[in-house]
Amino acid sequence: MNFKKVRNLAASFLLFAFTLTAPGVAHAEDLRLPSPETTAAAETSTVPWPALDDAGALLQREMVPALQTSSVSNLVEPQVLSSTYTSATTAIVNALANMAPSVSLTTYGIPRAEIGELFFSILNDHPEFFYVKGSISYTIDSVKGTIKTLVPSYTKTADQVASMRYLFEEEVTKALSVITPGMTDVEKALAIHDYLILNTRYDMNSTILPDSYNAYGVLVDNLAVCNGYALAYKYLMENRLGIPTELVVSNAMNHAWNLITIGGQNYHVDVTWDDPVWDRLGNVGHDYFLLSDAAISAGTNPHYSWTVAGTAPSTTYDNMFWKNVDSRFVVDSGNWYYMSTAGKLMKYSAINGTQTTVYTLPSGSYKSGVSLKLDEKNGKLFFHTDSSILSMNKDGSGLSTAFVPSAGLGAIQGLAFLDGALKYTQRSSYYTNSWENLYEAPVVTAPPVTGVQYRTHIQNIGWQAFKANGETSGTSGLSLRLEGIEIRLGNMPNLGIRYSTHVQDYGWQGYVQDGAVSGTVGQAKRLEAIKIELTGADKDKYDIFYRVHVQNLGWLDWAKNGHAAGSAGYSYRLEAIEIKILEKGQGSSLPQTNSYTSFYGDGLTNYSTHVQDFGWQSTVTDGAVSGTTGLSKRLEGITLKLGSSLPYGSVVYSTHVQDYGWMGEVTDGSLSGTTGQAKRLEAIRIRLTGTVAEQYDIYYRVHAENFGWMGWAKNGQDAGTAGYSYRLEAIQICLVPKGAPAPGSTANAFTAKVLK
């Protein structure tokens, strides 16, 4: 860590408020960084913002006089080994990441005068700590004058931060999606620069929102001031893409931007000043992209009095053509596409530095000299005239009219894809300083997704966007429960889908199908397990696989075709799910051993018998003996239900009872037979219904008076005796995968006495 840099940053940007107390007790420093820009009307002065609007009129940005700062002489250069500070930094970073209430720094020997700059440097280096206040308290060693304990403060609760981190990471993933394999560092810097501008508005509220000063405000709220823009750019470029990027601070300007290192040279990038105020959809300036010290400090609206380690002497990019481009650049395989104010769709080759015209708009279809807008989706370029939105392939072929909005609102003045939807603006005037109204163009940019699509309702977050074909929906590591789920199929007309979830306090819910909600919304109830299966004419051609991330257990193995995934009896929440459809036989390599666990020892078959003199016996499972042998005790009743891990369906059974004959069929845990009437069971038949009947055979055999154990019957066949008045004394029941061998001999499962 370069502490000369840190010291200068702190000196130029922080207001220290020292509270002196007796040695050895707590101290506090206010590092309230996030207010280089404020809108208190009494303190504002109008300062030119160096970008021209479409009319050529100079845009203005409100600034405030310089903040008070401590002088450099108040900050002492560290006199300890850098490795010691590296260890201290690691300790503080780990504490902030885990929202620890305090962190011990006794072993690091950090002088009191240096704790502020160390803490501030960490916040600059870790924009993902958007929930950490720019103020600290600490205790000191009264003898050594060094820090004993650091006590950070947080702006949010742990639960709030968990959901915010999830949203933050979601938006980081979206931002990084503009980076494609083979991009140069310049192209990466350009792509992220343009993405942030397209998706962020400068905060023009009378009271600037707290998160507008941090990276969360940029990426999640899409609203920020300069400090937020600069932190978000640093986080994406350095922390995620590995391209060295620093914050640059000018206290005199009340402004922050970035210094980026490319090819061993430093360059200034000011994302904020390239974003127009008021916001204009699709308008992306490039006047302050990759400038030298000389270039950024020159001109009508120079930057000045900044503080940062290192200089930017290279003039390589000072006079590049992009300074005159106000549309997004679409970068693809070394080619950069953009719209010129002359109504041309241009292609710049970064490989050989040449430019060619891909398409020229018809004369009179747009306002001359006005910046036209460009965006890209699924390989197609989208741009506009005054009256129409057009699309074209990148090679210049396939020109078509994507959408023509109503003419009553005026000329189209901008477009951009925001969260996957094509937004556009229309106004009767080209130069209105106000928030724009955004409209959505009903443009189909890609064929529908084939396969399974699903979205989950997440604690503190709500509905997530749809995921598809094995993508993760939900979170992991954030301790957030899934509360509801919707599942649907796309472009598979001969298939349907149905599913059931096990919900906290409610148990297994009834099956829903084809996009309906399973679970709850607004009741704070966790999902604990799920079953999913295919329906329709083609269901036997495919398998549906799904796996879940479970609290305390992590990712379980894959379940398929209606079997349960998750847990029962542990009160563990589902946190994430992945679902995929495969042709029959293609999922054999997926681990499927441990997809569901039950605290209750739940078997595939669960049954209990009522025995003469003994009453109800404990429930047994999967082929175990229920009843007695060798004691001459009759079975009088039975209950039977299927395990909760099994797919959709029921077990149906009937018993032949002394004096009554065959009783009516019952299902799923109901009593068949009698209790308290001293009536023996003489025979039984059991069958399955639903999907479970398609996947399993149910086998059962009985121990009958004078016969002993008889053969195995299956799927509704009779087991026992008739006409002998012989009691059943015990029973075994199990499931076998469809078509698999029986668990034993099937001979003589039932015997009837022939009357003469």
Domain boundary among 423, 441, 459: 441
Structure tokens that stand for 100 in this block: 């620890």
pLDDT-based confidence at 437, cuts 50/70/90?
confident
The verdict on residue 60 lying in a domain is yes
The verdict on residue 43 lying in a domain is yes
Same domain for 587 and 630, yes or no, is no
- pLDDT of 27 > 50? The answer is no
The pLDDT tens digits of the residues spanning 194-227 come to: 999 999 999 988 889 999 999 999 999 999 999 9
Mean pLDDT of the region 44-68:
25
The pLDDT value given to residue 147:
94
User: Which range among 106-120, 157-171, 229-243, 442-456 shows the weakest confidence by mean pLDDT?
Assistant: 442-456
The pLDDT tens digits of the residues spanning 399-434 come to: 999 999 988 888 999 999 998 899 999 988 766 666
Same domain for 559 and 653, yes or no, is no
Q: What is the mean pLDDT of the chain?
A: 87
Same domain for 580 and 641, yes or no, is no
Count structural domains, the chain.
4
CB 731 within 8 A of CB 609: yes
Same domain for 634 and 525, yes or no, is no
- pLDDT of 234 > 50? The answer is yes
pLDDT-based confidence at 83, cuts 50/70/90?
low
Report how far residue 648's alpha carbon sits from residue 645's, in angstroms, rounded to the nearest whole number. Answer: 10
Report how far residue 295's alpha carbon sits from residue 315's, in angstroms, rounded to the nearest whole number. Answer: 8
Please give the residue that has the higher pLDDT: either 167 or 34: 167
Same domain for 657 and 518, yes or no, is no
What are the DSSP calls for 355-390, one per residue?
Answer: EEEEEEPPTTSS-TTSPP-EEEETTEEEEE-SS-EE
Domain boundary among 406, 441, 476: 441
- pLDDT of 604 > 70? The answer is yes
Our measurement of the distance from residue 626's CA atom to the centroid of its chain's CA atoms, rounded to an integer in Å, reads 49
Report how far residue 344's alpha carbon sits from residue 458's, in angstroms, rounded to the nearest whole number. Answer: 45
Q: Whole domain around residue 357: which residue ranges? A: 327-441
Q: How many other CB atoms are found less than 10 A from the CB of residue 527?
A: 27
The verdict on residue 542 lying in a domain is yes
Q: Provide the total of helices (H) and of strands (E) in the chain, helices listed first.
A: 9, 56
pLDDT-based confidence at 573, cuts 50/70/90?
very high
- Per cent of the chain over pLDDT 70 is 88
The pLDDT value given to residue 48:
25
The pLDDT value given to residue 5:
34
The verdict on residue 313 lying in a domain is no
pLDDT-based confidence at 334, cuts 50/70/90?
very high
CB 715 within 8 A of CB 604: no
The pLDDT value given to residue 434:
67
The pLDDT value given to residue 734:
97
How far are the Cα atoms of 315, 381, 476, 483, 571 from residue 553, in angstroms, in the given order? 56, 45, 11, 18, 12
The verdict on residue 259 lying in a domain is no
- Per cent of the chain over pLDDT 90 is 75
Same domain for 618 and 587, yes or no, is no
Report how far residue 320's alpha carbon sits from residue 129's, in angstroms, rounded to the nearest whole number. Answer: 36
Mean pLDDT of the region 644-660:
96
Q: Coil, strand or helix: which one is 423?
A: strand
The pLDDT tens digits of the residues spanning 491-519 come to: 999 999 999 999 999 999 999 999 999 99
pLDDT-based confidence at 19, cuts 50/70/90?
very low
Helix pair angle (112-125, 82-97), 10° resolution: 60
Nearest to 290, CA basis, from 257, 252, 334: 257
pLDDT-based confidence at 543, cuts 50/70/90?
very high
What are the DSSP calls for 69-131, one per residue?
Answer: ---GGGSPPP-S-HHHHHHHHHHHHHHHHTT-S-EE-GGG--BHHHHHHHHHHHHHH-TT-TT
Please give the residue that has the higher pLDDT: either 556 or 26: 556
Same domain for 523 and 635, yes or no, is no
CB 254 within 8 A of CB 64: yes
Report how far residue 466's alpha carbon sits from residue 374's, in angstroms, rounded to the nearest whole number. Answer: 26
Give the torsion sign (CA, 256, 261, 262, 266).
Answer: positive
**In 622-667, beta strands by DSSP E:** 626-627, 635-642, 650-657, 661-662, 666-667
Mean pLDDT of the region 647-659:
97
Partners of 611 in beta bridges: 615, 635
Q: Coil, strand or helix: which one is 2?
A: coil
Same domain for 545 and 680, yes or no, is no
The verdict on residue 540 lying in a domain is yes
Same domain for 391 and 350, yes or no, is yes
Model-wide pTM > 0.85? no
The pLDDT value given to residue 11:
30
Our measurement of the distance from residue 298's CA atom to the centroid of its chain's CA atoms, rounded to an integer in Å, reads 44
Same domain for 39 and 151, yes or no, is yes
The pLDDT tens digits of the residues spanning 664-718 come to: 999 999 999 999 999 999 999 999 999 999 999 999 999 999 999 999 999 999 9
CB 598 within 8 A of CB 584: no
The verdict on residue 479 lying in a domain is yes
What is the H or E stretch that residue 134 is in?
Answer: strand 132-140
Q: What angle do CA 345, 320, 52 make, to 5 degrees?
A: 75
The pLDDT value given to residue 185:
97
The verdict on residue 118 lying in a domain is yes
Same domain for 424 and 542, yes or no, is no
Same domain for 688 and 736, yes or no, is yes
Structure tokens that stand for 226 in this block: 């300069």
Cis peptide before 278 (omega within 30 of 0): yes
